[in-house]
Amino acid sequence: MRITIRMDDITPDMDWAKFLRFKDLLDKHDIKPLIGVVPDNRDGKLALNPAREDFWSYVKELQDGGWTVAMHGLNHLYSTREPGLFPIGGKSEFAGLPLDKQDEMIREGKAVLEEKGIFTDIFMAPSHSFDKNTLTALKKNGFKVVTDGFGTEPFRSRGMVFYPISVSRGKSLKDNRDGLVTFVYHANTMDEKDFTKLAELLGSGKVVSYGEFLKMPVKDRNIFAAAKQYILAKGKYTIVRLRK
């Protein structure tokens, strides 16, 4: 199994020391990740440093340099407790809201990014939480791709293309089948041990740039596979909750 890297919670006021430490490791191995940029961050938990003035031109520079950019919600504020279609979290910025509200939020997020010169058709839902209305609103606003779901290859479902994330890093690393899966990172909350593990992973030669994922053929996924994924996600959420 090959691995791609996704970095969540990219904001002007994130923990820059940790972000840059992460980036240094990636650069050393010439790996370009997917980054989830919050268009208009209002989540105080993500605000760890003074906002970087040149944030948007910096993101543009990364994108021009081959990094893949996704829109990570709008404000990164959780307004509902709906887990949605991929229930590994128990809260959402989108799931459970009416379609016109979600449409407005997604349109606004896209407008903010485009005003800064950032164009993308990839969506990354805060807390992995989206529902049918989110997907409809995304399609209406020109989004084609969602970074979520379980699996080892991109798949088409409900009119969108999904690029899966790993259910279990340990299992993905031992899995010798063909395929590609995404490991999700939040640099803001990483500690020494996490950075050591990341360095080891990058040294393993299993990691490829996110762009490789986007080149893979997309398979159609039937309703049974969708149901299996839902159960797996629900199970993962329950396990995480029980551990807490």
Nearer to Zn ion, 3 or 74 (CB): 74
93-112: contacts with Zn ion (CB under 5 A): none
Q: Which of 7, 9, 71, 180 binds Zn ion (CB under 5 A)?
A: 9
Min CB(80)–Zn ion separation in Å: 15
Nearer to Zn ion, 165 or 221 (CB): 165
Whole-Å CA distances, 119 to 81, 113, 138, 147: 30, 7, 14, 16
Nearer to Zn ion, 124 or 160 (CB): 124
| 8 contacts Zn ion (rule: CB under 5 A) | yes
Nearer to Zn ion, 93 or 131 (CB): 93
CA angle 179, 183, 188 (to 5 degrees): 165
Binding mask 111-130 for Zn ion (x = CB under 5 A): ---------------x----
Min CB(45)–Zn ion separation in Å: 9
Burial 5-34 (b: 16+ CB within 10 A, else e): bbbbbbbbbbbbebbeebbebbeeeebbbb
Nearer to Zn ion, 109 or 126 (CB): 126
Q: Which segment (6-14, 80-88, 195-203, 206-214) binds Zn ion by CB under 5 A?
A: 6-14
The 10 Å Cβ neighbour count of residue 51 is 11
Min CB(179)–Zn ion separation in Å: 25
| 148 contacts Zn ion (rule: CB under 5 A) | no
Q: How many alpha carbons fall within 13 Å on the CB side of residue 199? A: 9
Nearer to Zn ion, 51 or 227 (CB): 51
Confirm if 131 and 82 have CB atoms less than 8 A apart.
yes
Strands of the 160-162 sheet, one edge to the other: 180-185, 2-10, 34-37, 68-72, 122-124, 145-146, 160-162, 155-157, 219-220
Binding site for Zn ion (CB under 5 A): 8-9, 126
